[in-house]
Structure 1
Amino acid sequence: MARSLTLRYDTINGDPCNGKSPHKENTLLITVVAVPVVIMALLACTLTVFCFCRKQDSVPSVLLGCVDLPGPKSQENCKGHIHTSDSREFTYAELVAITNNFSACIGEGGYGPVFHGQLKDGTQVAVKMHSPTSATGKGMEEFLAEVGSLTTVHHRYLVVLVGYCTDKDHLALIYEYMPNGSLYDNIQGRNAIVQTLGWRDRARIALEAAQGLDYLHTGCVLPIIHRDLKAHNILLGHDMVAKISDFGLSKSYINVAQSHISVTAAGTLGYIDPEYCVSGRLTTSSDVFSFGVVLLEIVTGEPPILPTPVHIVQRVKEKVIMGDIEAIVNRRLHCQYDFSSIWKVVDMALLCTREVSSERPTMSMVVAQLKDALALEESRVSSSTISQVGSNVDLSISWVASGR
């Protein structure tokens, strides 16, 4: 029986007797090339992240509680959060001496009492102490925010920060002393009983406060929102010049990419923007609403909320609709004012307090109208004439243009 032999072979590149496969050689080559590339990529990513973090650290952030204030003579305080050369740092022992052991309490702030004091050079100051609980967490963040803002924001109608204290658990802010108290004191409080603030002074104070708030909104690198504007936070210094206080403690920044900030409701009952209270959307218009309430206080001499549940905005609207302009004005003024001036302020106040924030004016617009109102009153005073109700008064009601 014939047998056959079949020879079978495969084509192999290279020596079939050599145990090194060309596939293994290719794998080794890829590994040798890839590893350095991966290492270089990781190093590049690490460097990028490091640079980004360094850049973020140099940006002021109230929300993070870190405030960087660059300067050639900066000194570091508060665990590296504050860098400032604009104001003086006091020790707690110095505060005890300045305030005569905290013997003269002149007010109560949201985070603690305020004491009168005097520096060695005779300068009078107000020392706002912060409660021990504010030395940590959110309280510390807001304290650092106020120091940061007050040392970098300067305007003739904003209070001046003289110094601060971060001695252990003792936090304090030292302001210029405002000897004539607050706007509230002078239109409703203790000072109002002794002497009535005339309409010219009221109109001027309203204008000065409006200019200070307008600066916070438009004159800073980043808009600053007060969040708690009220008659108590408008202080009166020498010659009754008005200055806004506590804007640093309650402020928030809005950067160029934002139209609003979402935060929990803050402020004082009666002054809070109802739209902000519901939505949590904080804008400069929230301050405008609060300022409108302040304007109505200046005109009426009444608080935002009386024992009755009707808000001051509604009370004034009802009287305007009835045409009872005289009933709106504080009786202590005894008709010693220009009625057109009064009306311009009332009209602007009702525009500021519209329910829809987009329908409210900007503070720049408020400033312009208050300048007109003050000019009218100054003209009346200089000519020594007293306008009568209904004589040459423009009572165009712009605030009801949209049906409100």
Structure 2
Amino acid sequence: MEVNSTTTNTVSAGPPTMNHSYTQHHLHSENDNHGHAHFPTKTILTTITVVTLVTVLFIIFLVLFFIRRQKSSNKNETCKEETRVLHDTSNRLIGSTPLTFNSSPDVKGGCLHGGNLSRTSGPKFRGVQVFTYRELEVATDGFSEANVIENGGYGFMYRGLLSDGTLAEIKLLRNEGKQGERAFRIEVDLLSRLHSPYLVELLGYCADQHHRLLIFEHMPNGTLQHHLHSRNDQTQPLDWWARMRIALDCARALEFLHEHAVSPVIHRDFKSNNVLLDQNFRAKVSDFGLAKMGSEKRNGQVSTRVLGTTGYLAPEYASTGKLTTKSDVYSYGVVLLELLTGRVPVDIKRPPGEHVLVSWALPRLTNREKVLEMVDPALRGQYSKKDLVQIAAIAAMCVQPEADYRPLMTDVVQSLIPLIRNQSSLSSSSSLRFQKQTPSPSH
């Protein structure tokens, strides 16, 4: 009985053990199968989410890209339109509407605001730059009196050192209303587009709020007027060779303006004070604030207000306001007489009959003996009498009362070139010695 009981218990205990093990295994298998069934669904959902997000971001990027591109296109069109308008305006020399700057003109959106400025006229010229008032204040040491070069009717001229180490001359213009604004813009526009070794180079400008400044290349030997009429013990007079070179440089400057500019440019205020001298006493013409565009027709007239400097104005312009390139030729003749005689155009301290240089000189220029008496005593006889007679003849033609009798500046240049060539071989060495001995004035 015990054996049977034991056997029965053993037999009856076996199956439950086997069933439990099987059940556990079966449950684990179902769990595994359940897990494998859900894994692909999660992956698909994750992938769809990522793809959707990337697609949305890509669409947003494309929308922003096209919006930005459209804005850029609009700015370019605006810039082109402004350039066209400014170019048309500059061809009319600003007309009657002055430009008003609220801040320093600057490059905004790829467009230069504040003037029609050409920055690529050749490798020699680096282009016009826009300066802030603060930058120029630093360059001139707070516009120190020690850096004042000249105090003229336009304002002050300062010597300044720009941030890149360039020594420059900085003209601080007085606030003169519409006329001053017009003159400022004309000078910026013309010197930005007209480049010649015989015109002073405009390095930059500033139109910061109410401030108006022009930045020019440094001309260490100052103005021709200073050397002819303001000599002191520290300044030696210009010799004959230097004067002839200056006469030719000035003639070439006016020839360029009259003949080689896209439209003829009449300087309107050509005088010895607007002729600047570099370290080698080569001349460059400056100050274009009163310049006017001339007529496309040869000797064509333009009507304008009479502006300029007494003693240099052509008689027909002074009396009628009719301006031509021949008006500049007359002014050039006056400067040539200054080089020849050393006299100022108007001097009431002279004896009666000698107050006005042209009136006194014109009857004498065709008389050889009287021409010799007219020569600047500072030359001390160191000149060619043959060349002197020819220079006097050129001056006499330039200051003719009738504009039609005056030569073109091209003709003046061609008349002067042989004189300079003849002297170059004889006078170059003495000119170099003179340059070394002559101290640079503060002008």
Place the TM-score, normalised by the shorter chain, in its bin.
0.7 to 0.9
Q: What pairs with 1:292-303 in structure 2 (closer than 5 Å)?
A: 292-303=333-344
1:206 aligns with 2:206: no
% identical equivalent positions: 35
For 1:364 and 1:126, locate their aligned partners in 2 and report how far apart those are by CA, in whole Å.
30
Task: Indicate the SS of the match to 2:374.
Answer: coil
For 1:182 and 1:356, locate their aligned partners in 2 and report how far apart those are by CA, in whole Å.
30
1:251 aligns with 2:291: yes
Any conservation in 2 of the 1:118–1:125 contact (CA below 8 Å)? yes
Change (3 A) 1:284 1:335: same
Q: What pairs with 1:94-109 in structure 2 (closer than 5 Å)?
A: 94-103=135-144, 104-109=147-152
Structure 1 or 2, whichever has the larger Rg, is 2
Structure 1 counterpart of 2:359, from 306, 314, 335? 314
For 2:429 and 2:158, locate their aligned partners in 1 and report how far apart those are by CA, in whole Å.
43
For 1:329 and 1:186, locate their aligned partners in 2 and report how far apart those are by CA, in whole Å.
16
CA-to-aligned-CA distance 1:36-67 (integer Å, 9 cap, x gap): xxxxxxxxxxxxxxxxx997664232142689
1:77 aligns with 2:117: no
Any conservation in 1 of the 2:240–2:379 contact (CA below 8 Å)? yes
For 2:110 and 2:392, locate their aligned partners in 1 and report how far apart those are by CA, in whole Å.
47
Structure 1 counterpart of 2:388, from 321, 342, 345? 342
Amino acid across the alignment from 1:317: L
Amino acid across the alignment from 1:324: K
Structure 2 counterpart of 1:159, from 196, 200, 220? 200
Change (3 A) 1:281 1:192: farther
For 1:84 and 1:282, locate their aligned partners in 2 and report how far apart those are by CA, in whole Å.
27
The number of residues matched between the two structures is: 325
Any conservation in 1 of the 2:118–2:192 contact (CA below 8 Å)? yes
Q: What pairs with 1:20-169 in structure 2 (closer than 5 Å)?
A: 58-59=87-88, 60=90, 61-64=92-95, 75-78=111-114, 81-85=115-119, 86-103=127-144, 104-134=147-177, 137-169=178-210
Q: TM-score with structure 1 length normalisation?
A: 0.74
Stretch moving more, 342-351 or 255-264: 255-264
User: Any stretches of 5+ residues in structure 1 without a counterpart?
Assistant: 1-52, 385-404
CA-to-aligned-CA distance 1:300-328 (integer Å, 9 cap, x gap): 11111122453212322344448323211
Partner of 1:49: none
Q: CA deviation at 1:90?
A: 0.5
1:376 aligns with 2:422: yes
Change (3 A) 1:192 1:155: farther
Any conservation in 1 of the 2:136–2:162 contact (CA below 8 Å)? no
Partner of 1:331: 377
Task: Indicate the SS of the match to 1:143.
Answer: helix
1:194 aligns with 2:194: no
Change (3 A) 1:57 1:210: closer
Change (3 A) 1:183 1:192: farther
Change (3 A) 1:225 1:304: same
Partner of 1:39: none
Change (3 A) 1:380 1:87: closer
Task: Indicate the SS of the match to 1:108.
Answer: strand
Change (3 A) 1:163 1:381: closer
Amino acid across the alignment from 2:386: S
Amino acid across the alignment from 2:291: K
For 2:381 and 2:362, locate their aligned partners in 1 and report how far apart those are by CA, in whole Å.
20
For 2:86 and 2:335, locate their aligned partners in 1 and report how far apart those are by CA, in whole Å.
38
- Determine which structure has the larger helix proportion and give its number: 2
Stretch moving more, 96-105 or 316-325: 316-325
Any conservation in 2 of the 1:182–1:235 contact (CA below 8 Å)? yes
Any conservation in 1 of the 2:295–2:301 contact (CA below 8 Å)? no
Change (3 A) 1:274 1:297: same
User: Any stretches of 5+ residues in structure 2 without a counterpart?
Assistant: 1-81, 100-106, 120-126, 431-443
Q: CA deviation at 1:106?
A: 0.7
For 1:203 and 1:257, locate their aligned partners in 2 and report how far apart those are by CA, in whole Å.
31
For 1:351 and 1:251, locate their aligned partners in 2 and report how far apart those are by CA, in whole Å.
23
Any conservation in 2 of the 1:157–1:242 contact (CA below 8 Å)? yes
Task: Indicate the SS of the match to 1:181.
Answer: coil
Partner of 1:26: none
Q: CA deviation at 1:110?
A: 3.7
For 2:158 and 2:207, locate their aligned partners in 1 and report how far apart those are by CA, in whole Å.
17
Task: Indicate the SS of the match to 1:212.
Answer: helix
Amino acid across the alignment from 1:365: D
Partner of 1:41: none
Q: CA deviation at 1:240?
A: 1.0
Q: What pairs with 1:272-283 in structure 2 (closer than 5 Å)?
A: 272-283=313-324
Partner of 1:38: none
Root mean square deviation of aligned Cα: 2.7
Partner of 2:270: 229
Q: CA deviation at 1:379?
A: 5.3
Any conservation in 2 of the 1:62–1:142 contact (CA below 8 Å)? no
1:268 aligns with 2:309: yes
Task: Indicate the SS of the match to 2:216.
Answer: strand
CA-to-aligned-CA distance 1:202-225 (integer Å, 9 cap, x gap): 001110111011101111001110
Q: CA deviation at 1:264?
A: 1.0
Any conservation in 2 of the 1:82–1:144 contact (CA below 8 Å)? no
